[in-house]
Chain A
Amino acid sequence: MKKCSLSMVLYELRNINGNLMPHFFGIVFPNLMCLLIAQTVGSEMTEEMRREAVTSIMLTMTLVIPMAIMLIGYGALYALEIEKGIPLRMRLYGFGEKCEVPAKIAAHFILMTAALLIFGGFQAVVMKVQKPSAFALICLVVSLYLIGGIFLVIAHALANILKKFSLTFGVVMCLYFCMMILTGMMGMRTEQLPMALQKVARALPMTYVSNDFIDFWQSGSYNFMPFVQSFIFMGAIAGILLFLSGIRDG
């Protein structure tokens, strides 16, 4: 069996770029949403208040990037390939899962990085968000990559379990919208949700990024415990799904 090589990563990058859906949902959409929502921020506000509001919107919208690229993008791409039997065909040419999957993962992280850089540049230059402290920025970036990684595992496991593009796409889209609502991305703050849903929302790391990161964006302290717990929870779910997909494959 062949090893994962640079040419394989390039192949997977081409593979992602052959379909512009992740680019739309992961790059165009979050930037556009920031622009649109910022228009609704009251004009009677002081400049400082306006910038804080825009920053808060940015923190919420940046979460769309790992979700769109990893959960929807990877899930849809991989499920379609499984449905067509492409991984098997590649395996027969000597490119086993140990070669293809890491290349796919690398390519998706490259796309996510590009999306984050574009988003960051746009937010700094056009939206003029508040300048973060180094600590807050590092927290945000690390959180986004972790969230991306967890979603990638979930997407991979779901595609492997469901085996059909349409099913997988339906499920990941559903998850995507549910999580957008729960974590405040649809404009409803988490506190406004019914109690039961708030509990669910508090188990998802995105909720904390979306609602709390603004509190220590420039300075201040933050209790990271619930946030870390939410990562452990979502990581465990991803792990269980991956385990189940392994069982199903025998």
Chain B
Amino acid sequence: MLVTIRQLEVKYGSQTALRIDTPVSFEKGERIGIIGSNGAGKSTLIKALLGLIPYRGRVITNLKPEQMAVHMQFNEYVTTMSVKYIMETILDTKIAKNKELQELISFFEFESCLPKRFNALSGGQKQKFTIIMVMFQKAELTFYDEVTSGLDFETRQRLTEKLSQWYRDKEDTLVVVSHYYEELEQLASKLLILDKGRVIAFGEKQRLFRKYCGKVVLIMENNDKNRALSRNFPTLKSPEHLIALSCEDEAQEWKAMKALAENNVNFKRSNSDIEIMFMNARERFYAQQKVSSER
């Protein structure tokens, strides 16, 4: 066990930004994705774990702050010198003499950026700069807080691909905060879902899907014909423009697919859609809260 959060509460003034009541554990080698809307408390959780903000509760870990590396949501550096010198100072090495660092730099195609100052880098290059330094630290636990937010679609995809490629055969323990479902598909094996400072769900990606969506979901366009058709099947909460049918087992799945095929409906089958899982987990969490508060 690398980190166990027994109980945790962070307040800003009178506002509770984060409250964790049921234990959450990160094990060595795990890839944990943290998902939640803006203000859900994702960055707050990371800051608390790093000891940057005061919290009440109990976090059990043998890790010291220097054994954790973090790509924060906002990373700034001085703009008075080229990023090469910043990198060499922070990593306490010379790039010309360090094969490992050279490899990392060329993996991220960062060579041409080295002579530039930080303010002259593009959004994606800025992120890469921090990523390279965070990776080079080879920490026991590494946090990535919204690495790709604010980047254009293509840059985002390329960066996610690079990250997932780099960590593919490695044992690093990662905690990745992201708003992008595809990114979590690639980088995370476990998910921690936060909303308004509360833990909605935590667990293995597949297990959570199974719990909130069933075995498989069939996703189709939200139109009159499909809506009429879907009345005969259990549906899930889904994005406005889509309808999602939930199938608990193979028999249900065949039945639903047959109906869709017979009616010439285009659909997507998924057993891992994080977005729909996230929406339904949140829905169920608040429904249960309502029930328990009415009691």
Interface residues of A (CB under 8 A from B): 1-2, 5, 7-8, 10-11, 14-19, 81, 84-86, 88-90, 92-95
Contacts and interface: CB of A to CB of B under 8 A. Distances in A.
Contact of B90 (A1, A17, A81, A95): A95
B5 interface: no
B12 interface: no
B74 interface: yes
Interface of B: 50, 52, 66, 69-70, 72, 74-81, 85-86, 88-90, 92, 133, 137
B90 A93 contact: yes
A89 B80 contact: no
Given A18-B79, A19-B80, A89-B75, 5 more contacts: A7-B89, A18-B81, A90-B90, A92-B72, A93-B90
The residue in B76, B80, B137 that gathers the most chain A C-beta atoms within 10 A of its C-beta is B80
A7 B80 contact: no
A17 B90 CA distance: 18
B217 to A, nearest CB: 40
17 contacts: A1-B66, A7-B92, A11-B89, A17-B80, A19-B80, A85-B74, A85-B76, A86-B76, A86-B78, A88-B52, A89-B76, A89-B77, A90-B90, A92-B50, A92-B69, A93-B133, A93-B137
B74 A81 contact: no
Contact of B70 (A2, A18, A85, A92): A92
Contact of B80 (A15, A85, A88, A94): A15
B85 A11 contact: yes
* Dominant secondary structure at the B interface: loop
A95 B90 CA distance: 8
A15 B72 contact: no
A97 to B, nearest CB: 14
A10 B85 CA distance: 10
The residue in A7, A8, A89, A92 that gathers the most chain B C-beta atoms within 10 A of its C-beta is A92
Contacts of B137: 93
